[in-house]
Amino acid sequence: MLDRDILRLMMAQAGVAEKRIQQWMPSIVNLAQRHYPTICPDLRHRVCPGMRPFLERLRRRGISCGLVTGNLSRIGWHKMRQSGLRSYFNFGAFAEMGHTRSELAARAMAEARREGLAAANAPVYLVGDHLNDIRAARDNGITIISVTTGPMSREELAAFSPDFLLDDIRGLPSEIIKG
């Protein structure tokens, strides 16, 4: 879910009327983004196995990486700093930039091409751990690399036929990402 959707759901479950939710949402989003950095722990130990070497390999090859996340922008970038991964990402698409993960993936691809970070015909891969990532990739004609390091099991992800299904990114054959 996108952060705004989580906030909306929490307020609705607490009995807040939709009209109030809409009215309060901009202030709540702003407050959440200001507050999160004050409570976010060090996340370096939470990075999925093999992710740092994978991102480093892409960087050495000159392949641009974008972050597509349901987090709000300041929260998403802060998490990347806290995990030690921020320097690997050239751009991002975040919760306030679209209503679905599919919209965010499309926005990220458009930005990469507009900024000259990816040619119009460059292959695009989405690495994700959830059905919503598979849907976003399919909706945008992107190759999906599903990893079982998140909330969904191998069997759950396999039911949606990702292009690649890995226990973690270390299982990706090296010839897949060329550059």
Taking only the tens of pLDDT, the chain with its 179 residues reads: 999 999 999 999 999 999 999 999 999 999 999 999 999 999 999 999 999 999 999 999 999 999 999 999 999 999 999 999 999 999 999 999 999 999 999 999 999 999 999 999 999 999 999 999 999 999 999 999 999 999 999 999 999 999 999 999 999 998 887 65
pLDDT of residue 71: 97
Interhelix angle 3-13/18-39, rounded to 10 degrees, is 120
pLDDT of residue 154: 97
pLDDT of residue 30: 96
Identify the DSSP state of 146: E
Q: How far is CA 161 from CA 40, 92, 144, in A?
A: 34, 26, 9
For the chain, the residue count is 179
Domain boundaries, the chain: 44-171
Residue matched to tokens 């000259």: 116
CATH number, domain 44-171: 3.40.50.1000
Rounded to 10 degrees, the C-alpha dihedral 159/122/68/146 comes to 20
pLDDT of residue 178: 66
pLDDT of residue 46: 95
